[in-house]
A and B are shown apart, each in its own frame.
Chain A
């Protein structure tokens, strides 16, 4: 099976770079009052104001980073890895919808639900996928 719909292997490192870059960018935003985390709401209203643009930039950094990490090829992308990918993706969608349904019932703030929807599937996919690969490697080292 030839997985055409994946990024090259090196994109994983670019992805982690973007995720890491998101941290100082967010800290910079907080330091300069561009993100109002304490009030949990925008400091000024309107689309494409300073705060909104900053939120877009930092969110884009994080999401594109996670996206590259999640969908970069493994060194040897064989059919078992492909199977694990699909399986992890299925679980990520289950968890995402579970979280969405719970937040739909218990949380009033719809804006935060969008944010949840941005991170949860990618993050859970990455965690689950890396965990099964770690278990495979551990089984292999036990065998050796």
Chain B
């Protein structure tokens, strides 16, 4: 699963640490999600989408083979 959190962060001009604070996870987790090393739970994915004010599908995209 791909995501464009990094781009959305740049648009919203917030750091990894600020995003992490807003959704109550560590900065390491945001970094792992951004680099596709960790797939977040539905709850966390919804929280991230909520921060950016977008639909889930606008941020997380299924890849072939998923």
Residues of A that sit less than 8 Å from B by CB: 1, 74-76, 78-81, 83, 133, 136-137, 139-140, 143
Say how far B45's CB is from chain A's closest CB, in angstroms.
Answer: 11
> Given A79-B40, A79-B41, A83-B38, A139–B31 Cβ distance below 8 Å?
yes
A82's closest neighbor in chain B, by CB?
B41
Q: Are A140 and B28 in contact (CB under 8 A)?
A: yes
Which residue of A has the minimal Cβ distance to B38?
Answer: A80
Is the beta-carbon distance between A76 and B41 smaller than 8 angstroms? no
How many Å lie between the Cα of A1 and that of B42 in the bound state? 11
Encoded as 1 (CB less than 8 Å from any A CB) or 0, chain B from 18 to 45 comes to 0000001111110110010110110110
Number of interface residues of B (CB under 8 A): 16
Which B residues fall within an 8 A CB radius of A?
Answer: 16, 24-29, 31-32, 35, 37-38, 40-41, 43-44
CB pair A79 B31 closer than 8 Å: no
